[in-house]
C-alpha cells in the first residue's frame, strides 16, 4: 500500500486523503500496530507510545474505539477504557513489546504539551485547525528512535476547517517560511490520494449510489476532489472563472476594494467592468506572511505606500488613470484608532490612506446580501447541462490568492447562510465590496401555478380535446385533495363521492 511505502521512504508528514470508503480509519489503527511492533523488533524498546486521535471524543468512540474492540484479536493485546497510566488505550501483548496506542481527542491539543509519542495518527485531519497540527508535530519524539522514523500521519476527506492548510501543504505544495528556513521541510511531506479502489470490500451498489449524488457531493465523496468538498460555500473553478490577461478597454469603470487586516491578512483587489456589467479582477495585493491566515502586521501608511507603488506599475501596464477609480473598503477602515504615543484617538485607516492620495469610501458589508451577490456573480450560465456564457465575475491568472482561498471557504455549520468565521475569507470580503457596489438582480425560482390556475389554462388553451384536458386537471386536483386528507387526519375514503 502507498502509505506503507511512504513510511518506508521515511517521509515525516504523510496525508492519506480523498474519497470516502478508502479504508482510511482502518489503515490508521493497523499502521499504529505496525509502528509499535517495528520499534520493538528493530530497536528492542518496550512500552513505546503512539497517539491515535480524532477531533473530539464522540468521533473517537465511533470511528476508532468501537472498531478496535471489534477488530483487534485477543492475542494482539487488550483495550483499556480507563488505564491508570494511559487512560483510553490499547496495549500490545508482552511478546509484541507492550506498545501503547493512546486514544485521544483533540478538543484542546495544548493538554499534550509535555507528552512524547513515537508517531501521531489523526483521523479526519481536516476537522482540526492549523494550530492543532503545529501543536501535535512538536510532540513527535521517542528516546532511541530516529526522528525520521517518528511520523505524523493524517487520514481525511476534503472539507472542514483544516481543508485550507491540508490542501496547501500536501496537495499544492505551498509552504510558509518557517517550513523552508532555517530547515527546509518541504521534502518531508507526502500525499497519497485515497480512492474507492483501495477498499475491495465496498459493495458495488454503494458506489452506484454515490454516482447519483449532485456534482459537488459526487466529486468530493466518490472522486476525492480537493477542489470541491461538502460544505463548500462557492462553486468556483479555474476552468470557468479564470482567464488569461486581457487588455482593459479605454474608459472602462475601475474599482479597487480593500479588506483591512493586521494579525490576519489584508486584501486589496483591482477590478474593471465590461459593457455587460461583468467584473474582472485583474490584480491583487494580499498581505500575508506565507502562512495561511496570518498577516504581515503592516501599519496603514506602509500599506498605502505599497499600493501607490503597485498602481504606478499597473497604470503603465494597462494604461489606467487611477484618479477615476471608485475605492471601496470595509466599515473598520473609517473607525478611529488608539494613538499609543499620546493617548486619545488616532486617525482611521481611511484618513491615513487619504494622506497618500488614496480616497476610500464605505462599502456595504451586509453579510447575507453580500454572500448572495457573490454567489450570483460566480454562477455559470447553463442550459440543458451545457455552459452558455461566462460568469459575471472573472479572475486573471495572476490573482493566485483569490484562486487559492475562495474555493476553500466553507459555510457555517449552523448558520448556513453565513461563512465559517475560521476560514481564510479576506479576499471574499474585499471582493464583496465590488459585488455590492454593482449589485445584480438575484435569480429567483419560477413561481409555481396553483391547480386552479392550471385548470383555467386547460379550459382556455386545451391541448387536444378540451374535455380530455379538463378531465385530466380535474383528476390531478382530486388526487391532491385525497393526499392532503391522508396527511392531515390519517384516514382515507372509499370512493370519490364521499370526498365531496
Q: What is the CATH number of the domain that holds 18?
A: 3.40.50.300
Q: 41 and 126, same structural domain? A: yes
Q: Is residue 325's pLDDT more than 60?
A: yes
- Residues shown for the chain: 500
Q: What is the per-residue pLDDT for 499?
A: 35
Tens digit of each residue's pLDDT (9 = 90 or more) over 76-112? 999 999 999 999 999 999 999 999 999 999 999 889 9
Q: Is the peptide bond before 182 cis (omega within 30 degrees of 0)?
A: yes
Mean pLDDT on 236-251: 93
State the pLDDT confidence band at 204, using cuts at 50, 70 and 90. Answer: low
Q: What is the per-residue pLDDT for 233?
A: 83
Angstrom distance (rounded) from CA 472 to CA 201 = 50
Q: CA angle at residue 388 from 383 to 393, to 5 degrees?
A: 115
Mean pLDDT on 51-57: 96
Q: 32 and 118, same structural domain? A: yes
Q: What is the per-residue pLDDT for 176?
A: 84
Neighbour tally for 283: CB within 10 Å = 19
| Higher pLDDT among residues 160 and 392, named by residue | 392
Tens digit of each residue's pLDDT (9 = 90 or more) over 126-154? 999 899 999 999 999 999 999 999 999 99
Q: 466 and 421, same structural domain? A: no
Q: 466 and 425, same structural domain? A: no
442-450, long-range: CB within 8 Å, 24+ apart, which pairs? Answer: 442/372, 442/373, 442/376, 443/376, 443/379
Q: What share of the chain has pLDDT > 90, as a percent?
A: 59
Structural domain including 340 reads 238-437
Q: Is residue 51's pLDDT more than 60?
A: yes
Q: 316 and 204, same structural domain? A: no
Q: What is the per-residue pLDDT for 456?
A: 46
Lowest mean per-residue pLDDT among 183-187, 194-198, 390-394: 194-198
Residue 228 counted as domain residue: no
Residue 25 counted as domain residue: yes
Residue 187 counted as domain residue: yes
Lowest mean per-residue pLDDT among 52-61, 115-124, 184-193, 462-471: 462-471
Q: 476 and 388, same structural domain? A: no
Task: Give the domain CATH number at 318.
Answer: 3.30.420.280
Q: 52 and 117, same structural domain? A: yes
Q: 282 and 137, same structural domain? A: no
Residue 444 counted as domain residue: no
Q: 373 and 341, same structural domain? A: yes
Q: 70 and 155, same structural domain? A: yes
Mean pLDDT on 432-459: 67
Q: 380 and 478, same structural domain? A: no
Q: What is the per-residue pLDDT for 232?
A: 78
Tens digit of each residue's pLDDT (9 = 90 or more) over 367-404? 888 999 999 999 999 888 788 999 999 999 999 999 99
Question: Total domain count for the chain?
Answer: 3
Tens digit of each residue's pLDDT (9 = 90 or more) over 466-494? 445 545 555 565 566 556 655 554 444 33
Q: What is the per-residue pLDDT for 490?
A: 44
Of 437, 461, 480, which one is at a domain's C-terminal end? Answer: 437
Residue 445 counted as domain residue: no
Residue 141 counted as domain residue: yes
pLDDT averaged over the chain? Answer: 85
Q: Is residue 438's pLDDT more than 90?
A: yes
Lowest mean per-residue pLDDT among 6-10, 54-58, 362-366, 495-499: 495-499
Of 437, 463, 485, which one is at a domain's C-terminal end? Answer: 437
Three-state secondary structure of the chain: CHHHHHHHCCCCEEEEEECCCCCHHHHHHHHHHHHHHHHHHHHCCCCCEEEEEECCHHHHHHHHHHHHHHHCCCCCEEEEEEECCCEEEEEECHHHCCCEEEEEECCCHHHHCCCCECCEEEECHHHCCHHHHHHHHCCECCCCCCHHHCCEEEEECCCCCCHHHHHHHHHCCCCCHHHCCCCCCHHHEEEEEECHHHCCCCCHHHHHHHHCCCHHHHHHHCCCCCCCCCCECCCCCHHHHEECCCCCCCCCCEEEEEECCCCCCEEEEEEEECCCCCEEEEEEEEEECCCCCCECCCCHHHHHHHHHHHHHHHHHHHCCCHHHCEEEECHHHHCCEECCCCCCEECCHHHHHHHCCCCCEECCCCHHHHHHHHHHHHCCCEECCEECCCCCEEEECCCHHHHHHHHHCEECCCCCCCECCCCCCHHHHHHHHHHHHCCCCCCCCCCCCCHHHHHHHHHHCCCCCHHHHHHHHHHHHHHHHHHHHHHHHCCCCCCCHHHC
Of 411, 437, 463, which one is at a domain's C-terminal end? Answer: 437
Residue 446 counted as domain residue: no
Residue 233 counted as domain residue: no
Q: 263 and 202, same structural domain? A: no
Q: CA angle at residue 86 from 80 to 88, to 5 degrees?
A: 40
Lowest mean per-residue pLDDT among 44-58, 317-331, 334-348, 377-391: 334-348
Amino acid at each position: 500500500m502507498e502509505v506503507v511505502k511512504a513510511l518506508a521512504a521515511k517521509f515525516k508528514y504523510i496525508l492519506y486523503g480523498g474519497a470516502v470508503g478508502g479504508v482510511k480509519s482502518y489503515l490508521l489503527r493497523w499502521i499504529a500496530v505496525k509502528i509499535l511492533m517495528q520499534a520493538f523488533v528493530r530497536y528492542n524498546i518496550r512500552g513505546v507510545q503512539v497517539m491515535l486521535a480524532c477531533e473530539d471524543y464522540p468521533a473517537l468512540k465511533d470511528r476508532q474505539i468501537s472498531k478496535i474492540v471489534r477488530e483487534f484479536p485477543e492475542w494482539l493485546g487488550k483495550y483499556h477504557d480507563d488505564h491508570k497510566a494511559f487512560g483510553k488505550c490499547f496495549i500490545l501483548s508482552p511478546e509484541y513489546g507492550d506498545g501503547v496506542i493512546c486514544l485521544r481527542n483533540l478538543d484542546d491539543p495544548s493538554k499534550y504539551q509535555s507528552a512524547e509519542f513515537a508517531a501521531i495518527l489523526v483521523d479526519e485531519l481536516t476537522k482540526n485547525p492549523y494550530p492543532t497540527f503545529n501543536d501535535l508535530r512538536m510532540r513527535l519524539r521517542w528516546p532511541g528512535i530516529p526522528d525520521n522514523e517518528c511520523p505524523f500521519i493524517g487520514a481525511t476527506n476534503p472539507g472542514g476547517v483544516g481543508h485550507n492548510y491540508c490542501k496547501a501543504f500536501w496537495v499544492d505544495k505551498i509552504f510558509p517560511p518557517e517550513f523552508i528556513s532555517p530547515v527546509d521541510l518541504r521534502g518531508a511531506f507526502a500525499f497519497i490520494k485515497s480512492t474507492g479502489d483501495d477498499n475491495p470490500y465496498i459493495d458495488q451498489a454503494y458506489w452506484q449510489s454515490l454516482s447519483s449524488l449532485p456534482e459537488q457531493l459526487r466529486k468530493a465523496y466518490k472522486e476525492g476532489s480537493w477542489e470541491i468538498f461538502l460544505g463548500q460555500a462557492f462553486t468556483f473553478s479555474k476552468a470557468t472563472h479564470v482567464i488569461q490577461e486581457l487588455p482593459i478597454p479605454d474608459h472602462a469603470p475601475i474599482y479597487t476594494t480593500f479588506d483591512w487586516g493586521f494579525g490576519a491578512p489584508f486584501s486589496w483587489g483591482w477590478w474593471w467592468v465590461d459593457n455587460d456589467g461583468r467584473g474582472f479582477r485583474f490584480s491583487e495585493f494580499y498581505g500575508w506572511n506565507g502562512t495561511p491566515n496570518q498577516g504581515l502586521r503592516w501599519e496603514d501608511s506602509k500599506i498605502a505606500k505599497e499600493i501607490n507603488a503597485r498602481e504606478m506599475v499597473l497604470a503603465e501596464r494597462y494604461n489606467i488613470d487611477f484618479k477615476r477609480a471608485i475605492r471601496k473598503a470595509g466599515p473598520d477602515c473609517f473607525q478611529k484608532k488608539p494613538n499609543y504615543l499620546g493617548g486619545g484617538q488616532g486617525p482611521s485607516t481611511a484618513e491615513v490612506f487619504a494622506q497618500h492620495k488614496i480616497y476610500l469610501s464605505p462599502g456595504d458589508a451586509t453579510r447575507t446580501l453580500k454572500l448572495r451577490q457573490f454567489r450570483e456573480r460566480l454562477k455559470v450560465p447553463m442550459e440543458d447541462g451545457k455552459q452558455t456564457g461566462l460568469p459575471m465575475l472573472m479572475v486573471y491568472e495572476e490573482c493566485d490568492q483569490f484562486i487559492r482561498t475562495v474555493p476553500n471557504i466553507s459555510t457555517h455549520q449552523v448558520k448556513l447562510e453565513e461563512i465559517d468565521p475560521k476560514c481564510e475569507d479576506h479576499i471574499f470580503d474585499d471582493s464583496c465590496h465590488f459585488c455590492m457596489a454593482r449589485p445584480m438582480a438575484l435569480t429567483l425560482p419560477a413561481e409555481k401555478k396553483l391547480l386552479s390556475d392550471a385548470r383555467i389554462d386547460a379550459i382556455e388553451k386545451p391541448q387536444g380535446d378540451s374535455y380530455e384536458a379538463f378531465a385530466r386537471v380535474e383528476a390531478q386536483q382530486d388526487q391532491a385533495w385525497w393526499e392532503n386528507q391522508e396527511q392531515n387526519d390519517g384516514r382515507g375514503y372509499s370512493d370519490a363521492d364521499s370526498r365531496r
